[in-house]
Structure 1
Amino acid sequence: MVVTTTREENARLARRFPEDVATEGRIDVIDEICAEDVVDHSPFGEARGREALTERIESLRTAFGGFSATVEDVVSEGDTVAMRVTLRGIHEGEFMGVEPTGREFEVGNMVFTRIDGGKIVERWVQPDTLGLLQQLGAVDRPGT
């Protein structure tokens, strides 16, 4: 059976990841909205499959208390949805070798989501990692 979706349906589906999964912590939604062999590309490596993606999100939610991903803008064209997202949280657990600092952060994030057959099949996630590490105090700002 071939499932076709409109741009609006694709945008609603793509938004569920930052809103339901990342912000609300409804990790089980990954099984509902993502293809079994989903691929997630990010500066932290590539996660292949629902299980690896679930582990990645659980790790982020453990490292950052009060984690939220607010969708600011959405553009949908064909099978791809682009989103500008603001990430926020408090550094409460180890992240990239950095011990918890208790510091709050707010950074931008660009996410491109490809949808096929009514499921998320691939995501490209590009958070402002340098800005995050600077806000956590893990790296100095250039010139300081």
Structure 2
Amino acid sequence: MADPTTENERIARRVPESIVTEDNLDLVEEVFTEDAVEHAPFGQEARGTEEIRESLRRWLEAFPDFSATVEDAVTEGDTVAMRVTLRGTHEGDFMGMEPTNESFEIQNMVFTRIEGGKVAERWLHPDTLGMLHQLGILSPPGGISAQT
């Protein structure tokens, strides 16, 4: 019998590594429970595999060269915490923002709950402010120096 901790990490890593980085949205139904929920920044949620697939499709259209590299993963019970480096170039509409053709590299904290061998819930906590700054969409407030 496989170690449940190792298996839960393997399942959680499939989203950033196999679905998103490899642009393989056909795996959504295989990896997520039918009623899975993704909690994203700005209070956005995707509920169910259809909404999750659509949300990921829009993201990949905005950032066609997108990649997510899992740097660290810690598993406790049914939850996997991952530190993930996100990279991409803004080449399509992103939340109503026209493409800037600028690239970003930020950190993202992802907490994934596994249920019955599938992803049931994910909480995404990317450095959104850093990303918007790197894309040239936002400038840091006066007097604060930003690192890019």
TM-score by length of 1: 0.94
Cross-structure match for 1:10: 8
Separation (CA, whole Å) in 2 of partners of 1:49 and 1:8 = 25
Q: Following superposition, which runs of at least 4 residues in structure 1 exceed 4 angstroms of deviation?
A: none
Shift of 1:109: 0.4
Shift of 1:83: 0.2
Structure 2: give runs of 5+ residues left out of the alignment.
Answer: 144-148
Give a deviation string over 1:57-109, Cα, whole Å, max 9, x none: 00000001210000000000100000000000110001122110110110110
Cross-structure match for 2:21: 23
Which amino acid in 1 is paired with 2:36?
V
Structure holding more strand per residue? 1
Which amino acid in 1 is paired with 2:49?
R
Structure 1: give runs of 5+ residues left out of the alignment.
Answer: none
Aligned-partner SS, 2:137: coil
Separation (CA, whole Å) in 1 of partners of 2:71 and 2:128 = 18
Percent identical pairs in the alignment equals: 58
Aligned-partner SS, 1:66: coil
Aligned pairs, number: 141
Alignment of 1:71-110 (within 5 A): 71-110=70-109
Give a deviation string over 1:101-136, Cα, whole Å, max 9, x none: 110110110000000111110000011110111011
Cross-structure match for 1:129: 128
Aligned-partner SS, 1:28: helix
Separation (CA, whole Å) in 2 of partners of 1:142 and 1:12 = 40
Question: Does residue 65 of structure 2 align to residue 66 of structure 1?
Answer: yes
Cross-structure match for 1:55: 54
Cross-structure match for 2:30: 32
Query: 1:5·1:117 contact (CA, 8 Å) conserved in 2?
Result: no
Separation (CA, whole Å) in 2 of partners of 1:10 and 1:65 = 28
Question: Does residue 129 of structure 2 align to residue 143 of structure 1?
Answer: no
Bigger mean CA offset, 8-17 vs 133-142: 133-142
TM-score by length of 2: 0.92
